Amino acid sequence: MKFGLCVTTALCLFSLPVLAAPVTQADAEKFVASAEKELAGFNDYAQKTSWVNDTFITDDTDWLASKVAAEGTLMGVRMAKEAAKFDGLNLPPVLRRKLTILKVGLTLAAPSRAGAAEELADISTRMGSIYGKGKATLDGKVLAGNDIEDKMRTVRDPKQLTEMWQSWHTNVGRPMKTDYARMVTIANEGARELGFKDTGAMWRSNYDMDPDAFAAEIDRLWAQVNPLYKQLHCYMRGRLNAKYGDAVQAKTGPIRADLLGNMWAQEWGGLKDIGIQGESGRGYDLTSLLKDKNYDALKMVKTGEGFFTSLGFKPLPETFWQRSQFTKPADREVVCHASAWDLDNKDDLRIKMCIKVNDTDFVTIHHELGHNFYQRAYKAQDNLHLSGANDGFHEAIGDMIALSVTPDYLVKIGLLDKVPSTKNDTGLLMAQALDKIAFLPFGLLVDKWRWQVFSGTVAPENYNDAWWKLRLQYQGIVPPVARNALDFDPGAKNHVATSVPYMRYFLARILQFQFQQAACKAAGWKGPLYQCSIYGNKAVGAKLNAMLEMGASKPWPDALETFTGSRKMDGSAIIAYFQPLMTYLKEQNQGQTCGW
């Protein structure tokens, strides 16, 4: 399966004859065994079709992807309904878990009526294609999405930033609004057939707890980390005001979305030149170091692989290097959004990126390879357990490795000559926070918006208003230009256009620091958490692998306990990691009116 642009294995299911009542444990065992066998066969076909479509977008490959998606969706719905027939039986835990995975693993469930699965697949493929082919303009020149993303990081002219932001959201988001509303209607109809209130409730049921309890858990975690985000927001608003003046960015209130170095204002790492100042500078520019050392896309990926092999993991197979997409082809349309793939649930591992030599892509490579090494670690599991303990685990592993991209690590791999002075530590933490902490509220609100949409709380005519209300509430940002009911700004984000649940990324931000804290403790690290790198520690690698190889065979608290000793997700590790920065931010923000 692929991650980043994720399609769950439960989409790739098949149909069985309706079982005669009353059902028995033997019936359930036979059903699951047959399902897993068919899943294995269908996966190869579906994944290869999806790969071709993502790496060669044409009307024909769109048609193929839509056809396969329709088959998978229809089979998935039928399979989920079959699994529900065994709800009343007292079954062994492993068997019960597999049946539950079949019931809640769908991303979009089509109803069983004729033509619904095909319509849902057509809509989903069309929206994904609109996004993949998306263009925006800079000084009137048309640029592809990947190039626009790069420009948003580096351009500092407010008028140019507004042009890029507005053209992207208009060209990509607005055309899919009608399709999106229709998709919601069909998917909700399918979710209700499976016994869920709506699609959002179905998504929240995929975390080994009651859907409402999961929503409450998310709010608890956000409350732990929100104070740090508010201090970062206050600080960066002041820095942007100092650079642009009151006419562009006011000293108080929310921040203008297009000023934050990212098309979606989801991560602010592009603003390191603004956020890191004076003696607090981090002491080096990783993008410059990579270019000075003649790194290219391939060398960046090789370096990422080297981190995992230093922990004792085996190198990636040769086919990975032969079949992956590392750079954007010049001769065709592709989806550049980074993703990791396991096409055969064995060894056909790949990543798909349009790599640019910069610090962001260097980190992203570690993230995507984390998926690949996780996928290979659990490849011996039964088919229905070929996934992470929960989807947040899958996203967190590579990010945890990236936390070990410390100055000490950069010295060890030859990118730095020596570790910079500790006076640069504030800058190092600021560079991390501009990505990790700035992302937290965005990671939370994407699915909070979709939960409202799926539940019917927000009607299509209010899609955009509801989107910006949440962005103001959680992020403290506003659009740079007026928006109206015709706009569909959520669709300008890949994961909305392609219906990939997003809460996994919020959970990953929580879990990666919890994993890092546990890893550094296991390594015997005694210093500040942010200075710890586990590069080269095979004992930690072995303990990590013990969690990874479990796949989805146990509830996520069991997997979490295996590595961390705790059965509860906890945001306190983030606070511990960034404590020196929190002190710095409070000092810098004295006299400011924080909040919005």
* Confidence label for 15 from pLDDT (cuts 50, 70 and 90): very low
pLDDT score at 278: 66
> 291-302: string of b/e by CB count within 10 Å (b at 16+)?
eeeebebeebbe
Token pair 């979305």 in the structure block, residue? 257
For the four alpha carbons of 23, 28, 29 and 32, in that order, the dihedral sign comes to positive
Q: DSSP secondary-structure letter at 471?
A: I
pLDDT score at 420: 85
- Each residue of 293-313: pLDDT tens digit? 999 999 999 999 999 999 999
Cα–Cα distance between 303 and 295 in angstroms, integer? 10
pLDDT score at 21: 60
Mean pLDDT on 38-48: 91
- Each residue of 185-215: pLDDT tens digit? 999 999 998 889 999 999 999 999 999 999 9
Q: Strand, helix or coil at 586?
A: helix
In the chain, % helix, strand, coil (3-state, to 5) comes to: 65, 5, 35
For residue 156, give the amino acid letter.
R
pLDDT score at 17: 44
Cα–Cα distance between 132 and 170 in angstroms, integer? 15
**Which DSSP string do the residues of 174-194 spell out, in sequence order?**
GGGHHHHHHHHHHHHHHHHHT
Q: Is the pLDDT of residue 20 over 70?
A: no
Q: DSSP secondary-structure letter at 270?
A: G
Mean pLDDT on 397-410: 89
Q: Is the pLDDT of residue 60 over 50?
A: yes
Mean pLDDT on 370-395: 95
Q: Where are the domains of the chain?
A: 1-106
Cα–Cα distance between 228 and 221 in angstroms, integer? 12
Q: Strand, helix or coil at 262?
A: coil
Give the pair of three-digit tokens for residue 398.
């590579």
Token pair 């501009």 in the structure block, residue? 434
Strands 339-342 and 135-138, bridge-based pairing: unpaired
Q: Is the pLDDT of residue 81 over 80?
A: yes
* Order of strands across the sheet that contains 339-342: 2-3, 339-342, 349-352
3-class secondary structure per residue, 386-404? CCCCCHHHHHHHHHHHHHC
Q: Is the pLDDT of residue 228 over 50?
A: yes
Q: What are phi and psi of 357, to 5 degrees?
A: -80, 90
- Each residue of 509-523: pLDDT tens digit? 999 999 999 999 999
Of residues 20 and 398, the one with the higher pLDDT is 398
